[in-house]
Amino acid sequence: MKLQRHSEHQRLIGIIGHKLAHTLSPVMHTTAFKKLNLDFTYGVMDVTPEMLPNLIASMRALNFRGANVTVPYKQDVIPLVDEVSEEAKVIGAVNTIVNNSGRLVGYNTDAHGVYISLAYYADSIKNNHVVIFGAGGAARATVYAVAKFFSPKRIMIVNRTLENAKKMAEEFGPKFKLTKFFFTNDPETTTRELEVAALIINTTSVGMKPLVNFHPLPTNAKVQKNQIVLDIVYNPIDTALLQLAAGAGAKVVSGVEMLLGQGAKAFELFTHHEFPMHAAREAVVKELTQDMHQ
Ligand code: ATR
C-alpha cells in the first residue's frame, strides 16, 4: 500500500526529554503510523537542559511536524514555543508541540489521558469525593482533568510535602466552583477520606519499577468494592496499588490507559487521523510485559 504523505516535508516527530531509556512513546506512535500507513519518522531526542533551546529551534529549521515532551522539560519548553493552549497554561505544562507552518504551539494532552481513562465512570465521580496522591507535574494535569470533566464534590490532595499540596489546592480551588479542594499529609485524615471516596488516584512515582512493592496508601487503609482506583504508574502494569484494589473487588484503571489517552490526543494533533487504539495498546502492553521479564 502506498504511504500517505502529510503536508510537504513535515515527516519528523519525536520525544523530547532527558534520560529517556524507557520511553514507550516511540513504540506507541510508530505502531500507529504503520497501522495507518502514514509516512512519519519518530525519534528520541534526549538532550541536556543547555541544549533544549537549540533543539526547539531545530524543530523549526528541520520543519518537524511536532514533538512529545516529557520529564524534565514539560515546564521548560513553555517560553520556547510561540503559543500555548489555554489548557496547558492552566496546568502549567506542555507535553505536545505542533509545528503549524513554522509556528510552534504547545498543548497538554495528559488531561485528555485522564479524561479518557475515567470517562466510563463519569456518573460515579460527579458530586462525589476524590482522593489524589501527589502534588507534582502529573498531579496538576490529573487534578485539572478530574475537576474540569467530572465535577466531584471534593478533591483531597494527599502529599508527602504538605506545602506542595497546599499550593495546588489554593491554586486550583478558585478555578473550579463545583469542587472544594482540601489537602493533607496526615495518615489518619487520609484514611478517613479514603473511606468515603468514590475515586482514588495515584500520581506519585510510588510503586514504579524498581520499587514495585510499594503503594501510597497509609498502612491499614483499605480499598472498597464500590471504589474506582486509577494508578498513573504503568510500569509495572499491575502495580501494588492496583493489586490491592483488585483484591478488594474495586474497579481498577491502569496507567496504560492514561498513557494511551495522552498519546492518542497528541497523535491526532500531529496527523489529523484517528488514533488506532487497539494496535497501539497491543504494542505498548507487549513492550511492558517483555520489560517485566527482564
Ligand atoms: P511528576 O512530574 O511525575 O509528577 P514530580 O513533579 O517530581 O514528578 O512529582 C512527584 C510527586 O511524587 C510529588 O508529589 C512527590 O511528593 P513531594 O512533593 O513530597 O516530593 C511524590 N513522591 C515522589 N516520591 C515519593 C515517595 N517516595 N513517597 C511519597 N511521595 C513521593
Beta carbons within 8 Å of 133's beta carbon, 6+ residues apart = 139, 158, 159, 200, 201, 202, 203, 204, 206, 216, 217
Buried residues in 127-140 as b, exposed as e (16+ CB within 10 A): ebbbbbbbbebbbb
Residue-wise pLDDT tens digits, 145-201: 999 999 999 999 999 999 999 999 999 999 999 999 999 999 999 999 999 999 999
Distance, CA 2 to ligand 1 centroid (Å)?
46
C-beta 211 within 6 A of ligand 1: no
Ligand 1 atom showing the smallest separation from residue 165 Cα: 18
pLDDT of residue 9: 75
Residue from 132, 205, 233 to probe ligand 1 pocket by mutation (most atoms less than 8 Å from CB):
205
Catalytic residue among 2, 19, 35, 74: 74
∠ CA 206-256-284, nearest 5°, is 120
pLDDT exceeding 90 applies to what percent of the chain?
Answer: 93
Average pLDDT over residues 66-85: 97
Distance, CA 135 to ligand 1 centroid (Å)?
7
Distance CA 158, CA 193 (A): 10
Q: Which CATH superfamily is domain 11-108+258-292 in?
A: Leucine Dehydrogenase, chain A, domain 1 (3.40.50.10860)
Buried residues in 70-79 as b, exposed as e (16+ CB within 10 A): beebbebbbe
DSSP H or E stretch at residue 104: strand 103-107
Q: Which CATH superfamily is domain 112-253 in?
A: NAD(P)-binding Rossmann-like Domain (3.40.50.720)
DSSP string, 60-71: HHTT--EEEE-T
The reply to whether domains 11-108+258-292 and 112-253 share a CATH topology is yes
**Per-residue pLDDT for 6 more than 60?**
no
C-beta 250 within 6 A of ligand 1: no
Distance, CA 133 to ligand 1 centroid (Å)?
9
Residue from 69, 160, 209 to probe ligand 1 pocket by mutation (most atoms less than 8 Å from CB):
160
C-beta 41 within 6 A of ligand 1: no
DSSP string, 180-196: EEEEE--HHHHHHHHHT
> Is 74 marked active-site?
yes
Query: So where are the chain's domains?
Result: 11-108+258-292, 112-253
Distance CA 251, CA 109 (A): 24
| pTM for the full predicted model | 0.95
Distance CA 235, CA 211 (A): 10
Q: Sorting pLDDT into bands at 50, 70 and 90, what band is 35?
A: very high
Least Cα distance to 34 among 65, 67, 1 occurs for 1
Ligand 1 atom showing the smallest separation from residue 204 Cα: 12
Nearest residue (CA) to ligand 1, atom 18: 161
DSSP H or E stretch at residue 84: strand 83-84
Distance, CA 160 to ligand 1 centroid (Å)?
8
The answer to whether residues 177 and 154 touch, using CB atoms and an 8 Å cutoff, is no
**Per-residue pLDDT for 7 more than 80?**
no
Distance, CA 216 to ligand 1 centroid (Å)?
10
pLDDT of residue 99: 97
**Per-residue pLDDT for 96 more than 70?**
yes
Mapping DSSP onto H, E and C, the string for 18-59 reads CCCCCCCHHHHHHHHHHHCCECCEEEEEECCHHHHHHHHHHH
Determine phi and psi for 216, rounding to 5 degrees: -85, -5
Distance CA 154, CA 175 (A): 13
Q: Specify burial of residue 257 (Cβ count, 10 A radius: 0-12, 13-18, 19+).
A: buried
What does the block give as the cell for 266?
A: 497528541
pLDDT of residue 64: 97
